[in-house]
Amino acid sequence: MQYRSATGQLHEGHITPDEVVDEVIVNALSQNDRKSELLSVESWFHRLALQAICNLMIANSDTGNVSLGASVGRQNVSGSDENALQYHQPDDKLQEESVIPDSSIATPEEIIAGEEMVAQLDLVLRGVSILDREAFVLHTLEGFTVDEIARLANRPAEQVRSSIHLARAQIQRRLPAQNDLKKKLLGRRGIA
């Protein structure tokens, strides 16, 4: 969705991630799109997500600039927060030993670094086609194999390999030699 927004195919806020997830869940649970035996569950969900984005873009294309979620006036807030305030006890606080860190959740620094990497990658890969970019991202960042990408995108494996090579060449040309992003992207996976 970020790539389609960056390239102007999708307006900001036109489709929300929640809408895409809802659409994927509905399609996964319906009998319309059965999971292929050749695809892993992750690949199948990725394909459903791509289809959902395309379907939602088409379905929402005639809505124009009307936002159903935007507030049109001043809120009528006449209630009281008394019940919520009564629950809070002034001397009640969370003890440090009660907190258990969750190592599976990214830190704020990791989240920002990831978003920055995606933004840089979008800029660098603007010169390649959507199919080339998608194949590169799936292979390098998501860890899909060439055969999985070929089944997911309904393309021959040689075309997928060619797409990955074209995207790698674009990164080689557009990023300077000492760039950390270039080192990470080109050092993550071997040649496809």
What are the domain boundaries of the chain?
2-59, 108-188
The predicted structure's pLDDT at residue 51: 82
Q: At what angle do helices 157-174 and 108-124 cross, to 10 degrees?
A: 100
Dihedral angle sign, alpha carbons of residues 152, 156, 161, 165: negative
Domain 108-188 classification at class level: mainly alpha
Burial of 164 (0-12, 13-18, 19+ CB in 10 A): buried
Angle at 18 between CA 145 and CA 52, to 5 degrees: 55
The predicted structure's pLDDT at residue 164: 92
Where residue 165 falls among pLDDT bands split at 50, 70, 90?
very high
Neighbours of 89 (CB within 10 A): 7
What spatial distance separates the first Cα and last Cα of the chain, rounded to whole Å? Answer: 25
Burial of 70 (0-12, 13-18, 19+ CB in 10 A): exposed
Where residue 70 falls among pLDDT bands split at 50, 70, 90?
low
Residue 66 pLDDT more than 60? no
Model pTM greater than 0.75? Answer: no
Residue 191 pLDDT more than 60? no
